[in-house]
Amino acid sequence: MLCAVYLATFFCLGYVAAAAGLPFFKWVSLLSIGVATAATIAIVDRGRWPLGLAGPPRRAIAELLAGVVFAVLLIAAADRLIALTSVLRHGRGSRFPWLELALVFLPAAVHEELLFRGYAYQKLRTWSRPGAIAITSALFAALHAGNWGVTPVAMINLLLAGVLLALAYERTRRLWLPIGIHLGWNVVSGPILGYPISGYVAGATVLTTRAAGPTWITGGEFGIEGSVWLIVVESFAIVVLANKDMIRRVLRPDQERP
């Protein structure tokens, strides 16, 4: 019953609307997953399921910003490693795409975190936490498998990104930290540095990126997520997020829920 309610609502709202050619597809997708989640919680859990969005605004903002900063550090590290091992040049771009941020990047980050670290993941983890991380990470990678310029290295990075974001949720039992990481990751790598984001090219960027070298180093048309250096960076990030004491010292949550 749980799966039927959740999936039926999600697909009916999201993909039927997309097939109809409605505008603002990312916001439609976000609306579909939001309504599917709310409807399933109301019907199956009688409205009693702590999704991980409620709480003091100060804590939500702190976790969101911590995620953004963490993502900035990871992308900056990968960018510098690519620069050291290839011919990488950043030039001046045109501008920051504020409208694209509102219409694409913001709803996409929230939508994907609700979809892959939200209700479905949280239900799966009551059965098996490692199983939930493995299943949702594989699905997260599969969702991007058809993107432009995807490579085997990119698929490994997407799988690791799913693990990283799941661990970000595990550290706080809230969605704000993974949303911050996801949003910061996409915005810094694309609109700011000028890389494609999982094959998607932003309409405007603060900087431009030109790289010469093997695709497995530069990332090629898939972007920085196609670089082998991101495997190194993500692996380090996973170790950091797996360290409960380290994250607790940064975010200081009131308590660790079981």
Q: For the chain, which residues make up each domain, given as ranges?
A: 1-49, 55-251
25-26-28-31 Cα dihedral, nearest 10 degrees = 180
Q: Which single residue is written with the structure tokens 């405007």?
A: 204
Q: Which residues pair with 148 in a beta bridge?
A: none
Average pLDDT of 131-152? Answer: 94
pLDDT in tens, 77-86: 999 999 999 9
Measured CA to CA, the distance from residue 51 to residue 67 in angstroms comes to 18
pLDDT value of residue 243: 80
pLDDT in tens, 78-124: 999 999 999 999 999 999 999 999 999 999 999 999 999 999 999 99
Cβ–Cβ under 8 Å, residues 222 and 196: yes
Of 28-37, 46-55, 73-82, 228-237, minimum mean pLDDT range: 28-37
pTM of model > 0.85: yes
| 40 or 254, higher pLDDT | 40
Count of helix runs (H) and strand runs (E) in the chain: 12, 2
Work out the pLDDT band at 255, boundaries 50, 70, 90: very low
Single-letter amino acid code for the residue at 247: I
Cβ–Cβ under 8 Å, residues 153 and 226: yes
